Chain A
Amino acid sequence: MAENPVVSLRNIAVDFGEEAVLQNLSLDILDKTFVTLLGPSGCGKTTTLRVIGGFLKPSMGKVYFDGQDITELPPYKRQVNTVFQKYALFPHLNVFENVAFGLRLKKLPEDEIRQSVLEMLELLGLKGFERRGSENLSGGQQQRVAIARALVNKPRVLLLDEPLGALDLKLRKEMQTELKRIQQALAITFVYVTHDQEEALTMSDTVVVMNQGEIQQIGTPEDIYNEPKNAFVADFIGESNLFDGRMPKDYLVEFAGTEWPCVDAGFTPNELVQVVVRPEDITVVPPIEGQVTGVVKSLVFKGVHWEMVVEQAGGEWLVQSTDASQPGDLIGMRLDPDEIHIMHRCEEASAHVQQE
């Protein structure tokens, strides 16, 4: 991974009328990395992508490409290409001409165009589809054409706006692997927008979690999942139990009516904190061995594991376990110290303010 950012956003603000869509957003995208903008719909992730692509001029802030200010540059002069959410293939052109569109604009010699297009179609498993009308293709094939059409121009940065959203689960999984393979093979920077946290965690080098037009956290998938910076991230990435708690001293946290050893330190004594516990981290044990006990309220089979809602003094716990306990059973629950994630309460508070 190179160290220099290929795209930099500095203090970007976008508003549609009264509504602020992006607020003071700054982001560096490193060269040749797979960066995902992740967040719920309306969080501003697509808007961020459109700002990079040049389809939307920010009301404030600057966009840099290789250190050059490109804020005022129209889309057709930028070295980025986009894969649109609904593919946006040219309906009047066949597959070959769709992919060749950008190259024809560059007025390359015909045989060079031909070679590049066929290579790209081959790379995306579309060999033999050249003469097909773009509307006689399945969703997955159209998606591949859209990607080929963008990639054939050898952009420095490829922007992808929820490109797999319209595909079925199995195809989506295949394409995720495929995209990652292509990104590595061509060594191009991918900026990928999705609301699917699993997709983000699977493919990315860096995940940017966004909410309410602001960046909540930037990190590797592992960081984002294991060390969420605030309640929003914890809640959005995977399932989680959130508890209000208190840090009496370093390496000890009190929540759900009891004290737990933990690995966190550096909080002021008795600081009010928020605690995240992942449902799959909870170990179900006989009541006598549990750090806390609770009564199973409901039980749902999820395939790989069972999912239980457990009523306990501190509230309801979402628990995932490979062993089923029947509703009404009293069970014990244990947590290893490193399975308890502690966040400052103020970040949680600010996350709530934004939602209002």
Chain B
Amino acid sequence: MYSRSKASASPYLIWMVLFTVLPLALVVYFAFTDQAGNPTLSNITALGGYAMVFVLSLALAAIATALCLVIAYPVSYLLSRLRAGQQGILLMLVMLPMWMNFLLRTYAWMSLLERNGLINRFLGLFGIGPFEMINTNGAIVLGMVYNFLPYMILPLYNAMLKIDKNVIEAAEDLGAGTLYKFSRVVLPLSKPGIRTGLIMVFVPSVSTFIISKMLGGGDTWLIGDLIEAQFLGNTYNYNLGSAMSLVLMVVVLLIMSVMGGFDSEDMEGVI
């Protein structure tokens, strides 16, 4: 029985080795060698010069993630309290943009935010503006929030769906008003969803390069753009690109483990 289940797992193991472990090993290898293949730390030390790009990327991603949480939380809560039929329809509306091409969605925002774009033209009718909206950090954050919001809503909605209606009624029964009910019952019970949502939005936000390129006008460089340039641009330095990817991965893993750590500490306080 045991060996059988082992055997049936082998296709997945082979897949993992070929497409996950091996590429990761290559990234590590390239990050610590120069173009001739000699071992070196210079790729890593060279990253010091890009510190500001890292900081900006992390900051914009953090802001976008926080905004997603603020927007998605009430939406998910309301969604989970609706009747099953209505939930399906509204959930569909949340998912719908995800089925459209990512580039197309971002292009749409370009035409909205441009100096001669729809929003400025509309405001112009009332003699307001035009505003400089595109090519700003704000536009990048907007792009991130718009593109990744469903990744926050879905896990939150799932977590809230699992909260027993009776448990919320029990809180009311014991005298909890809206605020107390929320902070002592709904919020702690939706924590797993919050954690998943934060990761699902933060990780693609911090490594995006399309959004910054299209909505940031190419003047704002994020880590994603930097890495892309090492592999596809004129610089063509995949050793440096690998080092950047590796460091970004380590940073993301650190942030994730800190968030996970918070959670288990919280649980300790309770038990």
Contacts and interface: CB of A to CB of B under 8 A. Distances in A.
Interface of A: 53, 55, 74-77, 80-82, 84-86, 88-94, 97, 101-102, 105-106, 131, 133, 149-150, 153
Interface string B175-204: 111001000110011000000000000000
A1 to B, nearest CB: 26
10 contacts: A55-B173, A76-B177, A84-B170, A86-B166, A89-B167, A97-B270, A105-B174, A106-B175, A149-B170, A150-B173
Interface residues of B, number: 19
A88 B174 contact: no
Contact of A131 (B169, B170, B176, B271): B271
A55 B169 contact: yes
Nearest to B165: A88
Shortest Cβ-Cβ A-B pairs, 3 listed: A88-B166, A102-B174, A88-B170
Contacts of A55: 169, 172-173
Nearest to A81: B173
Contacts of B171: 90, 101
Contacts of A74: 172
A75 B270 contact: no
A94 B184 CA distance: 13
B178 to A, nearest CB: 9
Nearest to B163: A91
B164 interface: yes
A106 B177 CA distance: 12
Contacts, number: 66
Contact of A76 (B164, B175, B189): B175
Given A91-B189, A92-B188, A105-B180, A82 B270 contact: no
A92 B189 contact: yes
A153 B169 CA distance: 16
Contact of B174 (A86, A91, A94, A153): A153
For B172, B175, B184, B188, the residue with the greatest tally of chain A CB atoms inside 10 Å of its CB is B175
B170 A86 contact: no
Contact of A85 (B166, B180, B184, B185): B166
Interface string B216-257: 000000000000000000000000000000000000000000
A277 B169 CA distance: 44
A93 B172 contact: no
Contacts of B164: 86, 88
Contact of A82 (B167, B170, B176, B177): B170
A85 B164 CA distance: 12
A102 B184 CA distance: 12
Given A53-B173, A149-B174, A94 B271 contact: yes
A95 to B, nearest CB: 11
Contact of A75 (B167, B173, B185, B189): B173
Contacts of A80: 173
Contacts of B175: 76-77, 102, 105-106, 153
Contacts of B184: 101
A90 B170 contact: yes
A105 to B, nearest CB: 5
Given A84-B170, A86-B164, A76 B176 contact: yes
B169 A84 contact: yes
Q: Which of B172, B174, B175, B185 has the most CB of A within 10 A?
A: B174
Contacts of A105: 174-176, 180
A81 B174 contact: yes
B169 A94 contact: no
Nearest to A152: B174
B173 A76 contact: yes
